[in-house]
Amino acid sequence: MENKKERNLKNVEEILSLAKLSPRELKPVFQALFFTDKNLHQHNYKLLQLDSQLLEEINVGSKLYFKGEKDDEVVICSDTKTFHVVEAETSNSLLLTHGAKFNKDIEDDVESTVTDVTVAGIFYDYLETTLNKPHLKKIDKLLENSIYKGPEYECDVDINNLFTFEELCEKVQASIEEIKEALNSMTVVEINGKIRTLDLEYHFRVLTYMLKLIDENSWELDEVDFQETLDSLQTLVPKEILESLFEKYTEESKEIDGIPLYKYREDKVCTFFAQVLLHQTGKFNLDEFLQAWKESVPEGLKPTEEMLYGIAIIDRKSVPNTIRAFEESSLPENINERFKILFSAKEKWTVPEISPYIKRLTTEKLDVNALLAKHARASKVDGIKYYSAKHGK
């Protein structure tokens, strides 16, 4: 700092007098601001405004990560949350200072003094953070070359196109927990440390092997033995695949003689069999599909129309009624674009029908009903509430 004018208590008293203020009404430490003459408008710093949840993450000692490649918007991730970062302008100048004190740091009973405070930078914009949805679509892109079709096809796989979980976390703009949750909703397995997606036909073949053991061993539907499943199929299927699919499709039901037994989850199994059938054709006669679906699932499991929500669209206006595949995972992350595609695919939706397609876009403040109220128009037909395009006919 050069040629700065020193301030003393007499100067302060004169200024306070002009402002009609009494020193007794103020803290006893007065701070004189002086602007540096070196690189005042420097760009070595960025000001970041923290929302309450990001501040809480910092206060509890969470690690934070900036994520984003050259053409991505920037996000900040903790281990559990994703915060979007945008640049905001302010009409007021924001000052970066060295040595400034806040009221809470100044005692009331100290001797009056004047201290110098250096303004090291001046800013007219800052970075603003808001809790938002993670960018998970990149997982699909990164894993598109990781499809596992069985051991006999591994010689055709380029290992350079495969990623570990840690490598996915580095590239995907989402928190570790959000990435784990996304992977859990997909059919992926870890083989030799790499995250792989299962080929649909191979997936179906392995699951069919597993389900056939129920009849071969005369098991009750809720008395499936995990270890016996592994032992029976380990020569046909890698252990990692069996363990992953068993975890995905079963849940513990009981324990007999200290051995935990399991049952296959009816909704998961029936939904997957429906996906396999729908994958084989574009449109399906609805009645024929429902019959084929019922006959394809293991005896004792009962498919219902609700199991199709999120994977298919039924057209009851066509003659005959039809059904076609319509996967939630195929829709864009942008909420406006997603609603546009939804209402283009089907004019009117009930809440149960549309919920699986927008649930992933909900936040702590906006649940499914709030999103529908904001982006769609409600109407009633025969006492049933439907939602359609907000600005439709």
pTM score of the predicted model: 0.81
20: CB partners within 8 A, 6+ apart = none
Q: What are phi and psi of 330, to 5 degrees?
A: -85, -10
Per the CB < 8 A criterion, the answer to whether 195 and 145 are in contact is: no
d(CA 254, CA 189): 26
In three-state secondary structure terms, 56 is helix
The predicted structure's pLDDT at residue 392: 61
DSSP state of 134: -
Q: How far is CA 17 from each of CA 5, 21, 24, 103, 318, rounded to the nearest angstrom?
A: 20, 6, 12, 21, 85
Per the CB < 8 A criterion, the answer to whether 329 and 338 are in contact is: no
383: CB partners within 8 A, 6+ apart = none
Residue found under tokens 């100290």: 110
The predicted structure's pLDDT at residue 200: 95
Ramachandran region, residue 265 (left: φ > 0; alpha: ψ -120 to 50; beta: rest): beta
Closest Cα to residue 260, out of 226, 228, 215, 234?
A: 226
* CA 163 to chain CA mean position, Å: 19
Residue found under tokens 């049933």: 384
The predicted structure's pLDDT at residue 213: 97
113: CB partners within 8 A, 6+ apart = 9, 28, 29, 30
**119 pairs with which residues across the strands?**
35, 97
pLDDT (tens, 9 = 90+) of the chain, 393 residues, equals 445 667 888 888 888 889 888 888 888 888 888 888 777 776 678 889 988 999 999 999 999 999 988 888 889 999 999 999 999 998 888 888 888 888 888 887 788 888 888 888 888 899 999 988 899 999 999 999 999 999 999 999 999 999 999 999 999 999 999 999 999 989 999 999 999 999 999 999 999 999 999 999 999 999 999 999 999 999 999 999 999 999 999 999 999 999 999 999 999 999 999 999 999 777 899 999 999 999 999 999 999 999 999 999 999 889 999 999 999 989 998 999 999 999 999 999 999 999 999 998 988 888 999 999 999 999 998 899 999 998 765
Tokens representing 185 are 């909703």
**379 pairs with which residues across the strands?**
386
Per the CB < 8 A criterion, the answer to whether 148 and 191 are in contact is: yes
Helix (H) or strand (E) holding 170: helix 165-171
Q: How far is CA 43 from each of CA 35, 121, 128, 262, rounded to the nearest angstrom?
A: 16, 9, 17, 61
For the sheet with 250-256, list strands across it. 224-225, 259-264, 250-256
